[in-house]
Structure 1
């Protein structure tokens, strides 16, 4: 006897792989397990204002990148007459605009779109090995040394040193702090003290995201390298900043705006929040990451719409297998109910059931006449197909004339399958009687309705379309059902007298 172990191992492997693929898709691309959820997207627009001198103008703006918590999904520019490009420099991405001649007030708009993404893939860039040390004057050097030594004595590593240094900078009784803050902002002073202490750090420009905010300017903060990641600190708070509404726009540690051929350059930021569907979020993230993605979302929208229905067919097949193998329900044809259910999805349930009954009922009457002609099988089936087409055409025209627009969807029924169904039911009528026709026809219609309810369930539609790995789980379940050889539930009544004996 052949061992069943390899079979059960294969089924277990299908289930594990299917669930693993689904979990990876959820964790990597943020696809939710349930429908109706939304993803948050921030539209952030930078407005550059300056006065051109009447000659060549070149504008360079620090451009943001994908970062922890945010995935950059799009960027665009609106600048009449200017050439535009996004370039990579040693200090990071920058957006550049140029024009041969411009004069007077100028405005340039640079728009970005960020997806709030806890799973954003970011590889931390270590700090440069060599940095120029800031210079302090005589009294300032003594004050800086005092602050550094105080923080050093109270710390054990770079992060705790930065934290203690911030506490000292916010001490209102510290005369050294008051002296150093005469000509510098607190964030700049913090960065210079860290640099003097040979601790890798950088100044960054941060935007606080707030829906509907206009003409916001960057806040200066400091990032400190902990050996593997950059930790963000505000010079006004000793706590590591983990505010999820903070977006790092400028991490160049050089300059936010470089302007040639103009003066009085200013940059203001406006932002707005919007919610998008998980499908949109997943598609945007795939395009932004540029990753090899084998999901349906990588296809054009037309093909995605087609596969959205196709991926429901395995669910229908699972329902049919369960009803036939476990329940023992009889149907006319094995998977004809699945195809009829697909038609119901297009026509809606009530119009679909009425149309199915009208077509099959009328077809049986005409097929009973064809049986008297003693035609060959191929000719008889061909005649039934043509008859079904004529019936559908006639019902569609009548429905349109009397104003029943839902009747127009009857054309979605699979004509060849209906023709074979009518042929099969006609033969059963002749060989086994009308009762079996009603039993199998009713079983087919009942199965089609159940499959339709499964296919139109929002949770099932969401899972089958977004998690391809679940198809492997469905396949494994069907294989397990295929090994069942016990009594069907419908057979319990027939064998009840034996159980009583």
Structure 2
């Protein structure tokens, strides 16, 4: 008989190391056990991509500074082989990379950390000099004057004038606005018209801060000087923008990105939120240099956002093991409910359940027809996969046509898993009947819902992402559950007659 001592030693070691790493990270580096206890820090990473031509390269990127609601506590770059400097110019701060010679695809990273601080204030610098009207050619000038005349009649001051101008540009029937936006962006067009009215205005670039977002683009907005303050206007609504978690990245109207010696340049942003201790916020020290503080935070923000979801999968696996081993719940596949739950996180729960039922139900009907053709397994599975793609496409288009925006998120479902689910359920239907399909399908859906509720819990998301040692503890628990050979809760019904006897 094999000794179980090594197994229990392994489980004990995993628990001790996992808890030890987590306690060390909490005690030494001040990472909170629960979300919301500490100061919130937004980490924003700019990813600059361009194609170098083999010549000297100079890249200049606008960077934010301390502003209303945010204090800049740290900034750095990750671009080996490039010289780097932060330069203060008349139009704000800029990050500059330089290299004597570069060729091929180039990727540069710039990351900063903005501390949420209600006491932080941006210097209210008034504009310098008089307004210089922006020159517009014949038809453009005529269109701008017409738009300005109409907006002036419906406004009382510079603020309401700006609002009315933006409303006209959002009116799809305005031919004058359409003519201007063919030649320039909406933001530039609004600034150009305001300059004709001697109003100081500039284009501002903003980022909507949302945890876990990747490859985000700058949102263009317009700022005007009302005589005392700069007012920010949303180009979609025309109203003053007081949106929470709105970070002004490029406020002074200068180009966001300038590249010399390269082509096809673009910049995108990845965003992630963290909670840190007051001491960390003061000392500008979030990332650790010790191996014992092993953390995902050392990765680029885009990868961190991806891992924020990946690190939740072990929680889903633990729930599946609990339900199958202790409860005895039947599911279609072992970890298919976990993948469906990950899709629910993207689609939201109710649209996700409705989409899952529609796809699987329709797929089962089509699969029943395919079974009569006596196809080989590989061909049958391939046909089901294509069918699932077509079903998703049809449902998405129908949802869009009838105005159900939530239905567009159905594309997040993993197609291969859905195909195998349809195939597996159809086989069970043929071999064991529809009752077993309902049992296993219902068990899978119930498990997916429970996993979804765990994955969307703020405490679970916080502790799995910030304490990687917790993963070792989860692994130890799963190993222990795998050693369980007792009765399941669902078996109590089977043995109920023995109790009566």
Smaller-chain TM-score range? 0.5 to 0.7
**In the superposition, relative to structure 1, how do residues 37 and 376 fare at CA in structure 2: closer, same or farther (>3 Å)?**
same
User: Residue 28 of structure 2 aligns with which residue?
Assistant: 28
C-alpha distance in 2 between matches for 1:327 and 1:321: 9
C-alpha distance in 2 between matches for 1:372 and 1:464: 47
User: Residue 330 of structure 1 aligns with which residue?
Assistant: 330
Q: What are the residue-to-residue correspondences of 1:403-442 with 2, within 5 Å?
A: 403-442=403-442
**In the superposition, relative to structure 1, how do residues 12 and 402 fare at CA in structure 2: closer, same or farther (>3 Å)?**
same
User: Residue 83 of structure 1 aligns with which residue?
Assistant: none
Moved more, 283-292 or 465-474: 283-292
Q: What are the residue-to-residue correspondences of 1:332-411 with 2, within 5 Å?
A: 332-411=332-411
Structure 1 runs of 4+ with >6 Å offset: 74-77, 280-284
C-alpha distance in 2 between matches for 1:288 and 1:29: 9
Moved more, 413-422 or 285-294: 285-294
Partner SS, residue 35 of structure 1 = coil
**Do structure 1's residue 456 and structure 2's residue 456 form an aligned pair?**
yes
C-alpha distance in 1 between matches for 2:89 and 2:380: 71
Partner SS, residue 333 of structure 1 = coil
C-alpha distance in 2 between matches for 1:310 and 1:444: 20
User: Residue 16 of structure 1 aligns with which residue?
Assistant: 16
Cα distance, 1:79 vs structure 2: 8.9
Q: What are the residue-to-residue correspondences of 1:134-283 with 2, within 5 Å?
A: 278-279=274-275
C-alpha distance in 1 between matches for 2:287 and 2:12: 35
C-alpha distance in 2 between matches for 1:314 and 1:25: 20
| Structure 1 length-normalised TM | 0.53
C-alpha distance in 2 between matches for 1:452 and 1:490: 23
**Do structure 1's residue 312 and structure 2's residue 322 form an aligned pair?**
no
Cα distance, 1:381 vs structure 2: 0.6
User: Residue 183 of structure 1 aligns with which residue?
Assistant: none
Cα distance, 1:211 vs structure 2: 8.7
Does the 8 Å contact 1:29/1:285 carry over to 2?
A: no
Deviation readout 1:29-55 (Å, 9 max, x if unpaired) = 2110111123289xxxxxxxxxxxxxx
Partner SS, residue 19 of structure 2 = helix
Runs of 5+ unmatched residues, structure 2: 42-72, 77-85, 91-112, 124-271
Moved more, 416-425 or 293-302: 293-302
- Pairwise CA RMSD of aligned residues? 3.3
Number of residue pairs aligned between Structure 1 and Structure 2: 289
Does the 8 Å contact 2:38/2:276 carry over to 1?
A: no
| Structure 2 length-normalised TM | 0.53
Greater C-alpha radius of gyration: 1
